[in-house]
Amino acid sequence: MSDEHVGFPFADHELHLVELVNRVLDRGAVITGEITISVAGVDLVYLGVQLVIAATETARGRAGMIRMPQ
């Protein structure tokens, strides 16, 4: 019998989003020695979640590139 994919229900959308960003950007295994990510068309060397959030906020303010889902 094949495995069933399981769902991920969450009651609190905001908590979910904060916890999600924290995990996906700052945890998880790394296969490349240096992570380069792109924010609003600018390549940045990844140094940590706080820096990325700061950079993202800057990008949102300047370019309106980052949108929160409704």
Partner 1 sequence: MGVYAYCVVPHAHRPPGDLVGLNGSPVELVEVGDVGLWVSTTDRPEVSIETVQAHNRVVEVAVTEHVTPVPLRFGQWLEDPGQLPAHVSEHAADYRDRLSRFAGCLEFGLRLIDPEATDEARDVRESVPATGREYMQALRESSRLAEQRRAYSETVASRVRELLRDIVREEKVETAQTRHAVLTVSHLVAREHFDEYRERARRLRSVFPALRLLLSGPWPPYSFAV
Q: Which spans of this chain sit near partner 1 (rule: CB under 8 A)?
A: 3-6, 8, 10, 12, 15-17, 19-21, 23-32, 35-41, 43, 46, 52, 56, 65-69
CB 44 within 8 A of CB 38: yes
Nearer to partner 1, 16 or 61 (CB): 16
CA distance 47 to 62: 21
Minimum Å gap between C-beta 37 and partner 1 is 4
Minimum Å gap between C-beta 2 and partner 1 is 8
Which amino acid would we find at residue 32? T
